[in-house]
Amino acid sequence: ACKAGHYNEGIEYYTKLSGLYPDNDNYQYSLACCYDGVNDLESASKILERLLTFNLNAVKLKLHLASIYSRQGRNEAAKVLYSDALSQGFTDKNIMYEYAVICAKTKDTDKAEELFKNILKMDADYAPAYKDLGVLYASRRLFDQAEEYFKKAAKAAPDNIYILFETANFYNLLSDYKKAQRVYNKILDNENTPCFMKIAAAKNYLILNQPKKAKEILVKICAEEPSNPEILFNLAKVFIIEKNYEGAKELLETAYTVSPSVETAALLAKAYMENGLYDKAYGLYKYASLSAPESITLKLAMADCKTRQKEYSAALEYLKPVLDLFPEHEEANEILERIKKGE
């Protein structure tokens, strides 16, 4: 039942057999596999831990439990089991790769680097290892070496969307946004491309000041995930650029309801401002400023809001510290002129 993918039937079947034959490790292991199949990782891990207590050298059990620990986010525990398995002479490149990824996640980058390079000695076309070495060297700011490995990864697997995505992110990190976009565009038409990759491509278009291109992507994926706050947030950015403030307000209200954040609050406040809803805008700006009390941008936004409400004394309270630091600040002086004319 378990091998055929009938996991729930398998759980019922092997639970009965395990009760009848409690010393039969095979029934116990099959039950663990069925629990894993329905993503009940807690039940699966408990069975495997118990089995491993009596079979300390069982590599198969160690690797299965390590995989479950990894999916549970118990990376240090997974790392110990992978290390034990490899110390027993187990040299499967895919398992070694899983171990290397865990090492990278736990900041053991020297060990991760060693493992990735050992994998490439075993298989010179193992593209994920090239990609992860690129990520590792980029994190060390060794950008020339990182680019070399990203290029090797792309050569080994030119259509792998995950490798293309990490390569595009690398160029984005270098502020080479045009090159990043060329790589992002290679993954946009792939039907298997996850939503988060498409969002990254759209955000890069916004950096390139190409909101129409960004909008094309965001509108499509918004139809697929209409409550995704990151999609709504970035599409609202486009609407604000287009001066569609009512549309931006609606998107941001939904985004803020789903996932309230300081960044969303600040952009929603701007949409409220442009729609003349100054009290609502000011309330959100005040909330956002709790997390960033020294933010020049927020001080200016609150000064602008109070100026529009004709509360000039309050506006000057927000404006003064900005002008003290930056007397020639263009936006601050523009608000100051409006205050003077209003008074």
Q: Report yes or no: 117 and 133 within 8 Å, Cβ to Cβ.
A: yes
Tokens read off for 104: 């990278």
Angle between helices 93-105 and 109-122 (to 10 degrees): 160
Give the pLDDT confidence score for residue 54 in this predicted structure.
87
- Per residue in 114-142, pLDDT tens? 999 999 999 999 999 999 999 999 999 99
pLDDT band at 79 (very low <50, low <70, confident <90, very high): very high
Residue 1 has pLDDT above 80, yes or no: no
Instruction: For residue 171, give the nearest of 133, 216, 206, 134 by alpha carbon.
Output: 134
pLDDT band at 3 (very low <50, low <70, confident <90, very high): low
Give the pLDDT confidence score for residue 22 in this predicted structure.
87
Residue 103 has pLDDT above 60, yes or no: yes
Give me the percent of the chain exceeding a pLDDT of 90. 84
- Per residue in 329-342, pLDDT tens? 999 999 999 998 88
**C-alpha 131: how far from its chain's center?**
17
Residue 90 has pLDDT above 90, yes or no: no
Range 166-183 average pLDDT:
96
pLDDT band at 23 (very low <50, low <70, confident <90, very high): confident
Tokens read off for 149: 């490995």
- Per residue in 267-300, pLDDT tens? 999 999 999 999 999 999 999 999 989 999 999 9
Give the pLDDT confidence score for residue 56 in this predicted structure.
80
Residue 57 has pLDDT above 60, yes or no: yes
Give me the percent of the chain exceeding a pLDDT of 70. 98
pTM for the structure as a whole? 0.83
Q: Report yes or no: 24 and 18 within 8 Å, Cβ to Cβ.
A: yes
Radius of gyration of the chain (CA): 27
In 225-261, which ranges are continuous DSSP H helix? 229-241, 245-258
Count of other CB atoms within 10 angstroms of residue 330: 8
Give the pLDDT confidence score for residue 91 in this predicted structure.
80
Q: Which residue has the tokens 């003077």?
A: 340
pLDDT band at 13 (very low <50, low <70, confident <90, very high): confident
Average of per-residue pLDDT values in the chain:
93
pLDDT band at 7 (very low <50, low <70, confident <90, very high): confident
